[in-house]
Amino acid sequence: MDKTAARTAAFARRKAAHQPHAATAGYLSEVLAGHRGVPLAGYMAMRTEIDPTPAMEEAAAHGPVGVPVIIGAGQPLKFRIWEPECPLIKGEFGAMIPEAGDWMTPQIVIVPLVAFDRNGGRLGYGGGFYDRTLEQLRAAQPTMAIGFAYAAQEDANLPLEPTDQPLDLIVTEQGIITP
């Protein structure tokens, strides 16, 4: 299966699993509680992505939390400080980003995805932003990548490439998976 077909199938599974406003971040909060104060980056959920905001709000009470900002095609992401209720504007691809604020470097990155496998494989949207970013961050310091997804997004047959950065942990609304 090629990546385009894998993404199409995974988007359909994610859409079926999507539960807006459901309490789906409990396990993510549990994982992050063990890393209080460590700089972390989450993301602002779009469309049918599982929403990490409740866990990010809890983490922001203990240390810096950032969200990704797309700087340009083919470039790693940068992370801007985010706080609950901060003013947001629409960034690239419609993702909401803080209107202003300082940049930060996370040691934990909560990664959105289209599909995952139990070995830490991740299928993203195809732009390579998170792969480039994780490669850059990991070259500078230890960086944990936590894939956050609905359990229905699991796929044992992902078309992975050598440049795909592995996930250290996968968290779903049903539990925690350690590759």
How far apart CA 59 and CA 88 sit, in angstroms, is: 19
CB 79 within 8 A of CB 115: no
**pTM score, whole prediction:** 0.90
Q: What is the pLDDT of residue 1?
A: 64
**What is the per-residue pLDDT across 19-52, written as a single tens digit (0 to 9) for each?**
766 668 999 999 999 999 999 999 999 989 999 9
**Assigned token pair, 88:** 């947001």
**What is the per-residue pLDDT across 162-176, written as a single tens digit (0 to 9) for each?**
999 999 999 999 999
Domains plus CATH for the chain?
3-177 (3.40.50.10420)
Q: What is the pLDDT of residue 5?
A: 85
Long-range contacts of 87-90 (CB under 8 A, 24+ apart): 88/44
